[in-house]
Structure 1
């Protein structure tokens, strides 16, 4: 079994998306990393030309079996043990354990299904048939035809869950009397209700084996026998924790009892059907109304009002920022703060996703950040406190936030900064007409509840330009699947360095539009340009 887990570990790193995700963690934490198998052979490495002569070693385990090792090393080659090493190891090992579990379960299920290739073809046909259909009535009819054919049964029915009235309503059936139309089944004391509430499929081979929650009549018979009969199989139709309905199947044509394989097949069909039914319901709700669109437009207006309408007035600074969302609402955020001492704080952040949830989390992030700013903390303390306060909400929502915070002192021209897993800043140095990166060690907000953030500083000169941006600009692609990239961003800054901050931002957006051509914007794009003018 350990060898099987080890092979799954190796297979994980054949997936480019998974490798890029781990690479991004190492890039964020500025650590070199390597995973080896039990024979010390390399499985994956993010080293930036490191030799790992000095390293921290963590065992990679699954089901109490060691299947490899994780090596971590500071890019400077030092053996010093820092909190970021332990935190990074904890994150990577947790991700590996979760992915190995998912792959193992998927492989086990795949092997079981592949033993019956006819079932695989059936599931494929159902997926193909339902893929482009959004009419509920037609979906029900296709499902019942396929279920009756696949399981060789006389009777089958689909019931939808009426959440408001807490009952099940018959939507479509095969083999039932014509007078059975829109029959209502209570959730309490019925087989269908029992399966709906538990969320697990059920095989009943004898009335004596009914669950305790199911009520029998005075003759010891199931009270719903005029509608369905025993033996039977029943499967819930659900999307995650959303209860959609029930599929019941009874009376095999050959008279044989139902098997556990029949139950598994019905449950798989139900899982496929759930997505189609769920999507069809959503579309039905949207048909003939502009209510949702109108509400999104209102949400967009509210979200834009949370962004600064104008930059702060600060001696020697020319600042301009802009945000262009991929949809009506998004997860990008930027802001400026000027305190009583004249220090100017500049923040840019990116909440994962592009949904209403991301927009709501952005609003929460803004509120928390403004509260923390009032405490007059250092850059590292601001990021630390913000992460600590937001972690519970982000963890529950399954979201995270990358952010870059900079603090400028107009009197000394010192710029202090910290990074929470965000793309590094670009700085145009007027004296040498070159572009440099500003980065600092720090993890994305919302991964762990306790995270330390490195604080750095640099002295800026007149003519220098600091550019904050989200990954939406550098990861934008053209019709040839080429990314805009940091290099193009740097070249545009060098070309238009004489312009004002606002004009530079406008040139950046214009050049981005030219590059992507007609490609749809996939991510929010936010840019802040800070120019030192005196």
Structure 2
């Protein structure tokens, strides 16, 4: 309903604007009509997509993007009306007055307004307004392009350079994370105003290449100082400016005149536009400094919007990748727990958000071997899903062999560590082989996933495995086997670290001791009930605190 309300209000405003324009009681720009049409259309489009169940999130993303574009279209008009002298209206005549008098007054007002506009909007002002509109058009084209921001900066650089007849131009952008300013666009002949490296040959192509990829600190050089001060400067006598370094004696290195203007959003400098004329050419003047500053203000707004829209698009693409990875991962999880005589199972699996790094599996490979697997792969992207599927596939491939749990885990590690994609993706994995004919447990663990056994006779929980090197780190790692006899009433269980590290609102961890207590107190219940009680206890402990890791528990009770 809010979307329909927005569409209705937009159409009402569009209708009123049409009446205003027809009656000439005020001037309504074409941009305003276009913005209202965009908002009305996007509201209706989003409403039908949302309530038809076809891509709710995509519909809202489309609506936000279109509203953003509609607001963005108003920027040139807003800048024009906020910087130029206002047009004066002597009077507004209501419609109930005599029509002839109304027409006469309107004609008089129109003539006066036309005369004022002719005075106020000089040829230069109109040219700059056209340039700002071109910036807007090219900004829209840059939204979805892979190299959009680079191409857009090159266009801005060349446009301003042509407007002031500069020999060379450069756009530099500030990196907030490293406190440096880097050249992002370079065009033409630009004698460098900074000291060139001592080992750089004084050849035009080598000097231009050095400038094109240069990075400067925010102090100790002309670019950094102007970016810090946030004030445009006209330099016509570089030989008297201590901030300008004369690299000479080659003619192409002789410094001429410079205009360096910051690009600001409110009081925040996001970059610089620098322009040069070669030594011997006419120097820049104050009018050209004003043109550069005005166009830099236009450019800063459009650059910021391009970056913001590209961030939104990138986040949307990441969300789509996460959705795809989640579907793949869901297909890897057992659809249901198997029914095996003499065993009871319980599982608690709770992903934190997006793609879960935890996985578990139960495999009946032979009469004398039932295997239980618990894994926790680092990361949450598509690469993590690939590593997870590789681990699962390798384990399923060799689980039916006569090799022990430790040897199987070593083979899997060797295969994963040898793959280039897993350089930054490693994880923990525990493999438990249970022989129902002898009631023997054989376990191996890589990383921090433990394997515990509740001893029903001693009424205590004992850790069977010990921490070791994660899988995927070192190709030569060998994993140790741990063997234990079990009996009816005993419980084998394993879990990922996110379960015991779950935080409450005070920042305290749930802890291993709490988990062991719940299992020990409820050992007489079924495996399914034990897992449920653990889940309830964790939920009670964490309350409404936001969790940052996945939680998985696998219970195997011997009957």
TM class by shorter chain equals 0.5 to 0.7
Pick closer, same or farther for the CA change 1:232–1:310 going to 2, 3 Å: closer
Among candidates 398, 414, 423, match of residue 440 of structure 2: 414
Displacement, 1:358?
A: 2.2
Pick closer, same or farther for the CA change 1:380–1:523 going to 2, 3 Å: same
Structure 2 stretches lacking a partner, 5+ long: 1-67, 73-134, 173-181, 197-201, 217-226, 247-262, 264-268, 272-299
Task: Tell me if structure 2 keeps the 8 A contact 1:349–1:422.
Answer: no
How far apart, CA to CA, are the structure 2 residues paired with 1:425 and 1:414? 14
Among candidates 380, 405, 419, match of residue 379 of structure 1: 405
Pick closer, same or farther for the CA change 1:448–1:170 going to 2, 3 Å: same
| DSSP 3-state at the match of 2:345 | strand
Structure-2 residue corresponding to 1:443: 469
Task: Tell me if structure 2 keeps the 8 A contact 1:232–1:251.
Answer: no
Cα deviation digits, residues 5-48 of structure 1 (max 9, x gap): xxxxxxxxxxxxxxxxxxxxxxxxxxxxxxxxxxxxxxxxxxxx
Displacement, 1:397?
A: 4.2
Task: Tell me if structure 1 keeps the 8 A contact 2:417–2:423.
Answer: no
| DSSP 3-state at the match of 2:444 | strand
How far apart, CA to CA, are the structure 2 residues paired with 1:452 and 1:278? 52
Larger Rg: 2
Task: Tell me if structure 2 keeps the 8 A contact 1:403–1:420.
Answer: yes
How far apart, CA to CA, are the structure 2 residues paired with 1:369 and 1:468? 17
Task: Tell me if structure 2 keeps the 8 A contact 1:322–1:528.
Answer: yes
Write out aligned runs for 1:448-527 (5 A).
448-527=474-553
Cα deviation digits, residues 178-226 of structure 1 (max 9, x gap): 9769xxxxxxx9988996699xxx99349955434959xxxxxxxxxxx
- TM-score of the two chains, using structure 2 as the length reference: 0.51
Task: Tell me if structure 2 keeps the 8 A contact 1:335–1:348.
Answer: yes
Task: Tell me if structure 1 keeps the 8 A contact 2:454–2:460.
Answer: yes
Structure-2 residue corresponding to 1:306: 332
Structure-2 residue corresponding to 1:211: 205
Write out aligned runs for 1:39-78 (5 A).
none
Structure 1 stretches lacking a partner, 5+ long: 1-133, 138-156, 182-188, 216-229, 237-246, 261-265
The answer to whether 1:280 aligns with 2:308 is yes
Write out aligned runs for 1:248-287 (5 A).
253=234, 255=238, 256=241, 257-258=243-244, 280-285=308-313
How far apart, CA to CA, are the structure 2 residues paired with 1:338 and 1:298? 29
Aligned length: 339
Displacement, 1:424?
A: 2.0
- TM-score of the two chains, using structure 1 as the length reference: 0.53
Write out aligned runs for 1:233-382 (5 A).
234-235=214-215, 253=234, 255=238, 256=241, 257-258=243-244, 280-285=308-313, 296-382=322-408
How far apart, CA to CA, are the structure 2 residues paired with 1:338 and 1:233? 60
Pick closer, same or farther for the CA change 1:432–1:452 going to 2, 3 Å: same
Displacement, 1:393?
A: 3.1
Q: Root-mean-square deviation (CA), in Å?
A: 4.9
| DSSP 3-state at the match of 1:480 | coil
Pick closer, same or farther for the CA change 1:417–1:328 going to 2, 3 Å: same
Task: Tell me if structure 1 keeps the 8 A contact 2:416–2:422.
Answer: no
More strand by percentage: 1
How far apart, CA to CA, are the structure 1 residues paired with 2:215 and 2:387? 36
Pick closer, same or farther for the CA change 1:451–1:232 going to 2, 3 Å: closer
Write out aligned runs for 1:115-194 (5 A).
163=146, 168-170=151-153, 177=160
